[in-house]
Amino acid sequence: MARAVTPRRKALNTVVAWVIGLIIFFPIMWIFILSFKTEGSAILPPLDVLRSSWTFENYGVVQDRSDYFKYFGNSVVLAFGSTLLGLIIAVPAAWAMAFVPSRRTKDILMWMLSTKMLPAVGVLYPIYLLFIKLGILDSRIGLTIVLMLINLPIIIWMLYTYFREIPGEILEAARMDGANLREEVLYVLTPMAIPGIASTVLLNVILAWNEAFWTLNLTAANAAPLTAFIASYSSPEGLFYAKLSAASVMAIAPILIMGWFSQKQLVRGLTFGAVK
Amino acid sequence: MATQHSRSAARLMIAPAVTLLLGWMLIPLSMTLFFSFKKYLPMRGDSLENGLDWVGFENYARFVTSSSFWPAVQATLIIVGGVLVVTVILGVILALLLDQEMWGQGIVRILVIAPFFVMPTVSALLWKNMFMDPINGFFAHILKAVGLQPIAFLSQHSLGALVTIVSWQWLPFATLILLTATQSLDREQLEAAEMDGARWQSRFIYIMLPHLARAITVVILIQTIFLLGIFAEILVTTQGSFGTKTLTYLIFQRVLESQNVGLGSAGGVYAIILANIVAIFLMRIVGKNLDA
């Protein structure tokens, strides 16, 4: 039930909120603008930047000079690969804990969460060493496994909270109506579980896409995703604002769009149900 | 309704996840613990195959007595503390604002949360180059336009600059969680208070803040865990110079750059203990909610 507010109050809220929103969003807006400028005009004072002519050339140049889509492809493989691998392991686990809870379910969930708290830098060298010994340093498979493992607790937790919302009575009703286990899973549970699984996938693709500790430390030329590619711009020579902007826009655009769809899941996924 | 049969099936379904996470935790952890008691300098010929010298707690002592330790503690505290203060205060304000009636609320919310989805290397570089660069950066142009000297933010005010960058990344998270909590507030209680003549300050202090307390705690704990580990932002901006070497970055340098694995591992154990102290408080809150 909304409180009645005066139109003046509403107008004031609107103006203040929009100004703050645009300030926060401005850096992203600005690199979007710079990405359509020439290198020469990208470093001009802001008003001159806006007045200068527009160009699409940066987007082409980034690909030609640096093989951009190789890195983009690595990001896609790592983000989706680790999420799907995680799902295969997490769905049965979350399912079992939600529908056949035991005395230890809570402890297991809490322990899984605690593995997420392990600081990455504390185990950097062991992982680095194991990767060398196994010959998977700078490989997509090695990094996919690591990204899967660091996000597995979040995947299990999210799925668990979604599955737990599926009422058990529905299963009993289906059973009374003569559904066997296969039909029960296929026609009753799966359709109800799909929204939760989809949200989980969305959030974890975002987290894996943006992960920037392991991707920076365990990759070089072969398996480097966009996080590492962009980092290589930190000490460039010559003019590069426009190209860096174009590369950045391409790196964040897909995730920005996915992120906007996953606002609600973000809270659930990152607070482990502690905030509702 | 859970039968013996379904129980063992359930155990089988949970087993792969538990095994993997157990391995992921125990194997590297025990290796770090092992290395932390050894002299291990791979670049000087030490290797696992030839055996490593046991040095007891020497690495632990050297890590905390080295000249970079206290500055690193200080940098870590300033960055984590600074970001927490900025994001929680602005987050509460933004959450209360976004909860108000307005036109285009959905779009404003999208604008506000956008920075959270920008990968750390992009946000660090865009602030470093396009905004904080003392020659061509946005701020330099603005300062010059009003007749002031441009500032080299990342070398002169390095910690402030990093707090700004990281706060920009985490403000959306704080806002979104606090907004979720705000929306679950009992409106009738607020209206009753308003009717009884409570001014907005007292409504905020006696009704809103207590209601948000739990969400604020959760924001602080979760952010602390993530902020203790920030890495990419430092790597691509200052690489630990100008007093921005945090504990995480110091350990990274010990382990991978100077390849003093024993010393770095001792640092890693400290970091793990520190993170666990924060985690215990977070887990208590999460655990309580699981029972409810």
Kindly give the confidence (pLDDT) of every residue in chain A, 276 residues in length, as a single tens digit, with 9 standing for 90 and above: 445 678 888 999 999 999 999 999 999 999 999 999 998 888 888 888 898 989 999 998 888 878 888 999 999 999 999 999 999 999 999 989 988 888 888 899 889 988 888 899 999 999 999 999 999 999 999 999 999 999 999 899 889 988 888 887 887 788 888 877 778 777 887 888 888 888 889 889 999 999 999 999 999 888 999 999 998 887 765 568 999 999 999 999 999 988 888 777 777 777 777 776
Query: Domain A69-238+248-271, what fold?
Result: MetI-like fold (1.10.3720)
Inform me whether the pLDDT recorded for B59 exceeds 90.
yes
Task: Indicate if the pLDDT at residue B163 is higher than 90.
Answer: yes
pLDDT, tens digit, 9 for 90 and up, residues A70-88: 999 999 999 999 999 999 9
Distance from CA of A93 to the nearest CA of B (A): 4
The phi, psi pair for B54, rounded to 5°, reads -80, 130
pLDDT for A1 equals: 40
Q: State the average pLDDT over residues B246-267.
A: 92
Both tokens of A5, joined, read: 């507010």
Contact A110 B102 (CB under 8 A): no
Delineate the domains of chain B, giving CATH numbers in brackets: 45-291 (1.10.3720.10)
What is the nearest CA distance from B84 to chain A, expressed in angstroms? Answer: 16
* Residues of chain A neighbouring B131 (CB-CB closer than 8 A): 27, 30
Residues B145 and A262: their CA atoms lie apart, in Å, by 40
Q: Is the pLDDT of residue B109 over 80?
A: yes
Are the Cβ atoms of B256 and A217 closer than 8 angstroms? Answer: yes
Q: Assess whether pLDDT exceeds 90 at residue B198.
A: no
- pLDDT tens for A124-181 read 999 999 999 999 999 999 999 999 999 999 899 889 988 888 887 887 788 888 877 7
Separation between Cα atoms, residue A62 and residue A266, nearest integer Å:
32
Q: What is the pLDDT of residues B2-41, one digit of tens each?
A: 567 778 888 889 999 999 999 999 999 999 999 999 998 8
Q: How far apart are CA B150 and CA B134, in angstroms?
A: 6
| Residues B161 and B154 sit within 8 Å (Cβ to Cβ) | yes
Q: What does the domain layout of chain A look like in residue ranges? A: 69-238+248-271
pLDDT recorded at residue A72: 93
B283, B179, B276, B169: which is closest to A274 by C-alpha?
A: B283
Find the DSSP H helices in chain A.
Answer: 7-34, 39-42, 46-51, 57-66, 68-99, 105-116, 124-134, 140-164, 168-176, 181-183, 190-210, 214-217, 226-231, 241-261, 263-271
d(CA A85, CA A119): 23
Closest-approach residue (CA) in chain B for A89: B17
d(CA B128, CA B121): 10
- The pLDDT of residue B234 is above 50: yes
Report which residue type is found at B24. W
What percent of chain B clears pLDDT 90, i.e. is strictly above it? Answer: 55
CA distance B154 to B80: 17
The reported pTM is 0.90
> Which tokens belong to B74?
């200080």
Cβ separation A216–B269 shorter than 8 A: no
Residues in chain A with CB shorter than 8 Å from the CB of B91 are: none
CB–CB contact B231 A213 (8 Å): yes
